Structure 1
Amino acid sequence: MTPVTPQPGGLSPSSPPAARHAFVTLVTNADYALGARALLRSIRLTRTPADIVVLYTGGVDAASLEPLTEFDCRLLETELLPLSDEFNARHARRNVHETAPFTKGRKPQFHSPLDNFCKLRLWQLVEYERCIFIDADAIVLRNIDKLFRYPEFSAAPNVYENLGDFHRLNSGVFVAEPSIETFDRMLAVLDSPGAFWPRTDQTFLQGFFPDWHGLPVTMNMLQYVWFNLPALWDWRSIGVLHYQYEKPWEADHPRTEVLRPLIELWHAYLTGENIPDLATLDNPAPAGSVPG
């Protein structure tokens, strides 16, 4: 048996690496473990040679993780980051949601802001030359291995309401180069005295990498584009579909009807049944159009 490569503190891998590159996601509870099932299937269907790594916290039980093993992934148990009590108190769910409320959509009850910072553990995965992080509430619709050639730090803009948001990044998909030196610098900046990151890892990463490289919006197509900016939507070019705010596995969430085509697509990837040819899917109706 090939020995498991020792990991830096805070990570416990289930198996050794098998490739130079990896797709990485984070699972912090049973809901995101369910989301990861659809994500992992979608990645495997692209026939990528890259590894798939699932970082998971103590909030996930073994029964929720077991279905992920079908997709030949590396499971890496992770501890929460070693942050001060003051930092943890400032970033508790209640404080984040009250201090910087989400006004554009509804975050589910299982959203835990402190867990989000575990994404930074990616920089400890030094057995890989480059990683693509993808949130567990996303699916990959075509091969995106070309992103492994993008530099650190690359991310798509947080565009889902208007074109004025191109200056903000969305951390649901990003390209990074693991480095213990970078990880240590991140922790020092992250937990500096009085630091508050209202959108957790997303706000932090934009501040840490102010000269971030832009990925096309198609590499992190946010689901609200479907009804807010339909002219941007083209199934033929979307690489990653990201279900920000409401999740497709939530029963009857507030956007269910308007997002039904996207929800049905996610369920197809979850089960592996009746996954459609994307070329046959209809793009959303133009803004302001009247149904016939």
Structure 2
Amino acid sequence: MADQAFVTLATNDSYSRGAMVLGMSLRNHNTSKKLVVLIGQQVSEPCQSVLKRIYDEVRVVDVLESGDTAHLAMMKRPDLGVTFTKLHCWTLTHYSKCVFMDADTLVLSNIDELFDREELSAAPDPGWPDCFNSGVFVFCPSMETYGKLLQYCTEHGSFDGGDQGVLNGFFNTWATADISKHLPFIYNLSSIAIYTYLPAFKQYGGNAKVVHFLGKTKPWSYTFDPKAKKITGSVHEATEHPTFLMDWWTLYSSAVVPMLQEQYGEKPFHSGCVERFALTLDDLRILCPKHLKKFQYCDMLTFESDQGENFSSLAQELQPELSSEERKEKWEQGQADYMGMDSFDNIKRKLDSFLK
């Protein structure tokens, strides 16, 4: 139905990339619903452009600068800034029913059947099952509900400091509500639950429809080698849900990164993907800086060769030289060429020469 939509929120570029993967996963599983993303003003133009290619509606929300009732509530409870931003989903009144999904979720199969549920339907939280997890929930946009939620925030705050505490406090009959409002856990399979109750995951995990990457380390916090199909980062956390992490990175590297590359053009950006080029000296000699421009799409580029320092020095010579001003700017941005001109050996050599 045209008046039903999946909704997510991205407050910055990092969460925007999560929203991009979420949107692509919904598209890939043939959802018939509209896709909406609420974004903060901090989201860059390139990321906004990619989101507009994936989502039907991209709406900028910033309660800090609005003149509505949210602004008045914010003045009394500034600690709940992000929470107020999420509550904006109730203002999407041109939709009759929506499913909100956090940007750190990934859809594994079609979930359009969730729109058969009523407000407020959600899955239990793995930490305290009598509360629902606010990463996935069914709701009906309403300015009346929005106003009441803001009033609740102002008067009661949040017992956990975030949106989940607010929503559980406001929709406080969920625990005793009709079972139809309790979504099966497969619609919000949290990464935490995988390793806290591994037998259950082994039994039912194959039926999961949505995986939720809870915790401080998000999928986009890792590094991925598309060629080797290898994820690197926190070894402990990466092994908690390796299959789902691989699904996330495979979709991101194949579908999202090319769109980001188009938007950034020749402007460098960190995609999180490692590119490895196995070249011989003869191969490299026929390359020129123009051909090497594509390497700038990833600031974690590595060359693989068994020909040692001669290869590295030649690769360095072929890279376009930066002006003093450009090098200074990169240093200030924390992007020094530690493997090349700004390596420890080169700096030491310069200092020795100066002191002599």
The alignment's TM-score, normalised by the length of structure 2, stands at 0.61
Q: Work out the percentage of aligned pairs sharing the same amino acid.
A: 31
**1:72 and 1:56 mapped to 2: Cα distance?**
12
1:261 counterpart letter in structure 2: T
Deviations 1:176-227 (A, max 9, x none): 00111111111111112x6344241100100100122211111000012221
Distance 1:117 1:267 in 2: 30
Higher relative contact order, structure no. (Cα contacts within 8 Å, ≥ 6 residues apart): 1
Determine which of 151, 162, 187 is the counterpart of 1:188: 151
User: Larger Rg: 1 or 2?
Assistant: 2
Report what 1:128 is aligned to.
Answer: 95
Q: Distance in 2 between matches of 1:138 and 1:223?
A: 10
The answer to whether structure 1 residue 36 and structure 2 residue 19 are counterparts is yes
How far 1:259 sits from its partner (Å)? Answer: 3.0
Partner residue, 1:224: 192
The reply to whether residue 87 of structure 1 matches residue 77 of structure 2 is yes
Q: Does 1:204 align with 2:157?
A: no
Q: In the TM superposition, what are the counterparts of 1:3-18 in structure 2 within 5 Å?
A: none
1:237 pairs with 2:207? yes
Is the 2:84–2:150 Cα contact (8 Å) retained in structure 1? no
CA contact (8 A) 2:23 2:55 kept: no
One-letter code aligned to 1:128 = Y
Inter-CA distance 29–265: structure 2 relative to 1 (3 Å threshold): same
Structure 1: runs of 5+ lacking an equivalent: 1-17, 92-113, 274-292
Q: 1:247 aligned to 2:211?
A: no
Which of structure 1's runs of 4+ aligned residues deviate more than 4 A? none
Query: Aligned partners of 2:142 and 2:48: how far apart in 1?
Result: 27
2:248 to 261, 266, 274: 266
Q: How many residues align?
A: 228
Letter matched to residue 181 of structure 1: E
- TM-score normalised per structure 1: 0.73
The 1-side partners of 2:253 and 2:22 are apart by 11
Task: Give secondary structure in 1 for the equivalent of 2:47.
Answer: helix
Q: What SS does the corresponding residue of 2:207 show, helix, strand or coil?
A: coil
Partner in structure 2 of residue 153 of structure 1? 120
Choose between structure 1 and 2: higher helix proportion.
Answer: 2
Q: 1:50-100: per-residue Cα shift (whole Å, max 9, x none)? A: 100000111211122222233242101112242343411x44xxxxxxxxx
Match of 2:50 among 46, 61, 67: 67
Q: Give the whole-Å Cα distance in 2 for the aligned partners of 1:87 and 1:271.
A: 39
- Please say if residues 117 and 200 of structure 1, whose CA atoms lie closer than 8 Å, have aligned partners that are also in contact: no
* d(CA) in 2 for partners of 1:61, 1:197: 32
The corresponding residue for 1:177 is: 140
2: distance between equivalents of 1:196 and 1:205? 8
What SS does the corresponding residue of 1:66 show, helix, strand or coil? helix
